[in-house]
Structure 1
Amino acid sequence: MAQRGWVGWLADNKAASAGIAVSLVIALIGVGVVAARSGNGKKKGTSLQAGAEGATTTAVGQVAPLGGTVTSVPGGQTGASTGAAVPKGTKVAGTTTGGATTTGGSTATTPGGCTPQDDKETGITRSDVRVGQIVSDVSQLPAQLKPNYEGLQAYVHMVNAQGGVCGRKIVIDYNNDQSNPATHHYSLMIHKDFAFVANSSLIDSTDYQSDAPFNPTLKDNGEFVPDIGGLAYSYGRNQSPLFAGTVGSLSPSLTGGGMFRTMVNEAKTVPHGPCRNAGVVYLVEPTGASEDQGKLGQAALLQPWGANFGASHVKLYQASLAEPLTVYEQTVAQMIADGVNCVFTYSDLGSDINLVKAMENRGVWPPDKCTGPTCFALTYVPFAAYDPKFIRDAGDASHSVLTFIPHVPVNETGSPAMQTYLKWLKTVPGAEVSTFSLIGWTSGEMFVEAMNACGGAPTRACVIDYWHKKQGYTAGGLLGAITPFKSTRVDCSGGCGNFAGKGVYNFKWIFTCSVMLRVENRNGKVDFYRHTPATGYSCDTLQVARGKPA
């Protein structure tokens, strides 16, 4: 490959790339975001931390068990350490721990009595505040990251219509980098914009250190620029103390197994169950992320805290990007020969469609149409497939497919928060309801909430420190509770997957509260419908699947 990563792959595969979802790197692990290969190994054998020196964390507050019996999650959690701290040299008011909680919500944007004051920070005046947003809206690929911009636009429209944040209008400084370093303008934007909000760039690894302390590579006027919300793809950005993730942060070590356990237990009672052997499908792609996270998912399927298959009952299968349907039919044939009857994918939308169609062509799926002798009992796809295109293009093969998502299903429109999002999304021409626009919307809400807390002369340090303290953020119920800087201490001296770091880290958590969905036909409409729990979210706890607890 003449060029590295996605840029080189796109250049070499222009024809094939038209069928690949950008959301590949978002949902390979089934939790919404996935990190590209990260870590340069320069600090092998040292004790490194992604957080404050000596900081450790435990489960935050009450954790509800999985299995369909939980109907709600507490709106706030208290009394826990929140992991990674603001880097040394950054002035922060207060502490980075505490019991403050938030449920968010699309309500009034300016506290009573707040008036803008003179502010010496970059990108802010008495009349407006500039926020940068970098998105990889790659022309060769379906535009599944652009909705992050549309969702942020919708939220900004609402805030500005209500008078702005503390009297300041928000101005979005938008950069579509097209996944190309030459048009990725982070180094310019830090000198113009107060903060980044809802960034979703496939090449965000260029902006952050690949090992602890995972700081941004550049400063403006001696300070780092806050990075609020959006989707992170490199481990460096995910684990940075300057990044407050809307759905948490991916690590090379931590994963949950509760949803897999629920799926596999349920398969004991469905036609063609129980699960005898599991097949894990991952992709060979430029970052190595699919393989890395597929193997992390394999660990969750093996372990008692997950699906508890045991080592001899989980088999790995790989495919290249943009493989045709005929290749997937060969993969399914091999699964049948191996005795697999439950499938878990770590693939993009297009690959997921081809896989389930290949299963249908081989006569093993969907369950209600399979007559044997071999039938599959369970198919799980990451939420990259939570898209109307999956149902439209896969047809009957989409039926009974399972996924889980970190937010309220978009077909549940009863809550005030969902109604507000839907109302204001209509102000953005061409925007459609999606997970990705929801992430853009909630990222904007995170920024405004922090700005309101920081008063009439907010600082960058105050904004990021706000999210270091916050726990149990739900965006008014749109999201399962998120504590952006909750972390677990992990020793990677013996290796943590394809992450090259060999130290000790406080790895931040990805989201643990989610809703399981299943494709069903209800009253003549085929869609992803809530499967479990009946209301609210089911919550898990993350386990150290690679490396060891420290």
Structure 2
Amino acid sequence: MNKKVSLMLIAVLVVSLFLSACGATVETAQGVTETTVKVGNSIATSGALAPVGVPFKAGIEAYFKMVNDNGGVNGRKIEYVHQDDEFNPEKGKAALDRMINDEKIFALVGHFGTPVVGATLNDIKEAGIPAVYFATGTGILYNENAEGQDRVIYPVQPVYPMEGRIMAAWAKGEFKASKVGIIYTNDDAGKDLLKGIKQEAERMGNLAVVEQQVPPGAENVSAAVTKLKDENVDVVIIAAIQGTFPQIAKELGKQGMDKPAITTYVNVDQRMTEAVKSDVAGKFDIYGNAWVDMAKPEMETYRKWIKETSNEDLSSNAYALTGWIAAHFFVEGLKRVEGDLTWESYMNALESAPVQNPFGGEIDYSNGKRLGTQQMSLSKMSPDTAQGWEPYLGFKGIDEILGQ
């Protein structure tokens, strides 16, 4: 993607608007006609990530089918196009170029995977095309005051710096901590979570932080746990994803830590409970963030329509559900547009008021906020339940958690 492409797109938009004023029937923006709006993405639907990408794509298709079968949005049906990038950054860049310049999509919906997002984010910004939902928690999406080219980025699922801020709020607001201990991995996920925790602790001004770093996948984390034990922290935050979470949780139990632990939503999984339950049960409690509630009544609508797009049973598939959520957020912005549908009018509409996740909390894009999910619930590890976790607290934002 280069500046010539951006200038070409701007020129096309100007000419389209001029011809519209003269009474010609043309697109008012790229990918838009009087009866359709075209969106697209590239997803890994083959290779190692296909078990994630295939249901994610099915969820998007199911939501758009529901919308189209009910008449579309403001007289327009949604046309969805897709390419398989195999989770390969180079193929992802090529697919993005084809989507924007050959398929001429109006918006990206559901940009998929950390490597591909990292390789293409600047291209998206340079092209100026709205991008709604990213299937990654990478911290490069986090922005508290997006302006100019940065404005086109609209994350939905949790991004790690924001989740870290929420973790710090739980430690203070729910567990009344004055000192929090953080064990984080020396990778993007761990460092992004740490960044958010420290940012919120500094903002609050009354939460001390003790941090310990471990390598991703480390087998021996005893020194880090000993440090937090010696510091007598009130709450432990495990800022590590599934490859390292079990080792940290087990070592906390081994060393007799009895303080509550909080971890990322990524670890709120029955497999993680199975991995650590014999080491932590009866010693200390583990809590984890959640951003999707699959017990919501809206699940019945999802289950009805997902059957229309997949022969596989995706009725409780988390990846398909997130695809549904991605399409929902795009459509909610589309519904709000009054008058001509352009990139500018669409972004204005999406930013005009918070958007409700049908299975979670609200997201506010106003004033340049690009924070991903801003309200999360809290689950508690429960080995006696089939899911391995049980609801503990409902969806709250930082201010509500802190009682502000």
TM > 0.5 fold call: yes
Partner of 1:201: 113
SS at match of 2:170: helix
SS at match of 1:246: coil
Identical pairs, percent: 15
SS at match of 1:260: helix
Instruction: Summarize the Cα distance change of 1:444–1:292 in structure 2 as closer, same or farther, 3 Å threshold.
Output: closer
Residue type of the alignment partner of 2:119: T
Shift of 1:133: 1.8
Match of 2:87 among 169, 178, 182: 178
The answer to whether structure 1 residue 375 and structure 2 residue 286 are counterparts is no
Instruction: Summarize the Cα distance change of 1:402–1:130 in structure 2 as closer, same or farther, 3 Å threshold.
Output: same
Instruction: Summarize the Cα distance change of 1:486–1:402 in structure 2 as closer, same or farther, 3 Å threshold.
Output: farther
Residue type of the alignment partner of 2:398: D
Instruction: Summarize the Cα distance change of 1:295–1:235 in structure 2 as closer, same or farther, 3 Å threshold.
Output: closer
C-alpha distance in structure 2 between counterparts of 1:344 and 1:316, whole Å: 9
Partner of 2:390: 529
Instruction: Summarize the Cα distance change of 1:309–1:137 in structure 2 as closer, same or farther, 3 Å threshold.
Output: farther
Partner of 2:134: 230
Q: Residues 472 and 482 of structure 1 are in contact (CA less than 8 Å); yes or no, is this contact kept in structure 2?
A: yes
Aligned alpha-carbon RMSD (Å): 3.8
Residue type of the alignment partner of 1:322: G
Decide which moves more: 330-339 or 442-451: 330-339
C-alpha distance in structure 2 between counterparts of 1:423 and 1:378, whole Å: 40
Match of 2:364 among 453, 476, 483: 483
Instruction: Summarize the Cα distance change of 1:386–1:152 in structure 2 as closer, same or farther, 3 Å threshold.
Output: farther
Residue type of the alignment partner of 1:305: M
Instruction: Give aligned pairs, total.
Output: 363
Instruction: Summarize the Cα distance change of 1:208–1:526 in structure 2 as closer, same or farther, 3 Å threshold.
Output: closer
Instruction: Summarize the Cα distance change of 1:377–1:516 in structure 2 as closer, same or farther, 3 Å threshold.
Output: same
Partner of 1:515: 377
SS at match of 1:196: strand
Shift of 1:467: 0.7
Deviations 1:320-352, CA, capped at 9 Å, x for gaps: 22233xx23554355445545632022112322
Instruction: Summarize the Cα distance change of 1:392–1:227 in structure 2 as closer, same or farther, 3 Å threshold.
Output: same
Partner of 1:279: 181
SS at match of 2:221: helix
Shift of 1:202: 1.2
The within-5 A match list for 1:56-135 is: 119=27, 121-125=29-33, 128-135=36-43
Partner of 1:352: 245
Residue type of the alignment partner of 1:316: E
Unaligned ranges ≥5, structure 2 = 1-9, 15-24
Partner of 1:459: 342
Residue type of the alignment partner of 2:252: M
Residue type of the alignment partner of 1:170: E
Unaligned ranges ≥5, structure 1 = 1-86, 92-116, 210-214, 266-274, 365-373, 488-506, 543-550
Shift of 1:129: 3.7
Q: Residues 160 and 169 of structure 1 are in contact (CA less than 8 Å); yes or no, is this contact kept in structure 2?
A: yes
Deviations 1:68-113, CA, capped at 9 Å, x for gaps: xxxxxxxxxxxxxxxxxxx9x998xxxxxxxxxxxxxxxxxxxxxx
Shift of 1:540: 1.9
C-alpha distance in structure 1 between counterparts of 2:67 and 2:106, whole Å: 17
C-alpha distance in structure 1 between counterparts of 2:100 and 2:51, whole Å: 25
TM-score, normalization by structure 2: 0.74
TM-score, normalization by structure 1: 0.56
Shift of 1:168: 2.0
Instruction: Summarize the Cα distance change of 1:468–1:381 in structure 2 as closer, same or farther, 3 Å threshold.
Output: same
C-alpha distance in structure 2 between counterparts of 1:128 and 1:320, whole Å: 49
C-alpha distance in structure 1 between counterparts of 2:279 and 2:13, whole Å: 53
SS at match of 2:362: coil
Instruction: Summarize the Cα distance change of 1:452–1:231 in structure 2 as closer, same or farther, 3 Å threshold.
Output: same
SS at match of 2:114: coil
Residue type of the alignment partner of 1:290: G
C-alpha distance in structure 2 between counterparts of 1:381 and 1:434, whole Å: 22
C-alpha distance in structure 2 between counterparts of 1:281 and 1:217, whole Å: 34
Shift of 1:197: 0.5
SS at match of 1:349: coil
The within-5 A match list for 1:68-467 is: 119=27, 121-125=29-33, 128-135=36-43, 139=47, 147-165=55-73, 166-184=75-93, 185-191=95-101, 192=103, 193-203=105-115, 204-209=117-122, 216-219=124-127, 224-231=128-135, 233=138, 235=140, 239=146, 240-247=150-157, 255-256=165-166, 257-265=168-176, 278-285=180-187, 288=188, 290-301=190-201, 303=202, 305=204, 308-310=206-208, 314-324=209-219, 327-329=220-222, 331-340=224-233, 342-360=235-253, 362=254, 364=255, 374-397=256-279, 400-407=285-292, 409-410=293-294, 412-413=295-296, 415=297, 417-427=298-308, 428=310, 429=312, 431=314, 433=316, 436-454=319-337, 458-467=341-350
Deviations 1:115-140, CA, capped at 9 Å, x for gaps: xx853543345665432223467956
C-alpha distance in structure 2 between counterparts of 1:379 and 1:183, whole Å: 38
Q: Residues 141 and 159 of structure 2 are in contact (CA less than 8 Å); yes or no, is this contact kept in structure 1?
A: no
C-alpha distance in structure 1 between counterparts of 2:389 and 2:378, whole Å: 9
Q: Residues 182 and 237 of structure 2 are in contact (CA less than 8 Å); yes or no, is this contact kept in structure 1?
A: yes
C-alpha distance in structure 2 between counterparts of 1:318 and 1:142, whole Å: 32
C-alpha distance in structure 2 between counterparts of 1:397 and 1:424, whole Å: 42
Residue type of the alignment partner of 1:280: I
Instruction: Summarize the Cα distance change of 1:133–1:216 in structure 2 as closer, same or farther, 3 Å threshold.
Output: closer
Quick one: higher RCO (CA 8 Å, sep 6+), 1 or 2? 1
Residue type of the alignment partner of 1:226: P
C-alpha distance in structure 2 between counterparts of 1:392 and 1:161, whole Å: 43
C-alpha distance in structure 1 between counterparts of 2:318 and 2:367, whole Å: 23
Instruction: Summarize the Cα distance change of 1:482–1:276 in structure 2 as closer, same or farther, 3 Å threshold.
Output: closer
SS at match of 1:197: strand
Instruction: Summarize the Cα distance change of 1:435–1:316 in structure 2 as closer, same or farther, 3 Å threshold.
Output: farther
Q: Residues 155 and 444 of structure 1 are in contact (CA less than 8 Å); yes or no, is this contact kept in structure 2?
A: yes
Q: Residues 244 and 464 of structure 1 are in contact (CA less than 8 Å); yes or no, is this contact kept in structure 2?
A: no
Q: Residues 276 and 339 of structure 1 are in contact (CA less than 8 Å); yes or no, is this contact kept in structure 2?
A: no
C-alpha distance in structure 1 between counterparts of 2:52 and 2:342, whole Å: 33
SS at match of 1:264: coil
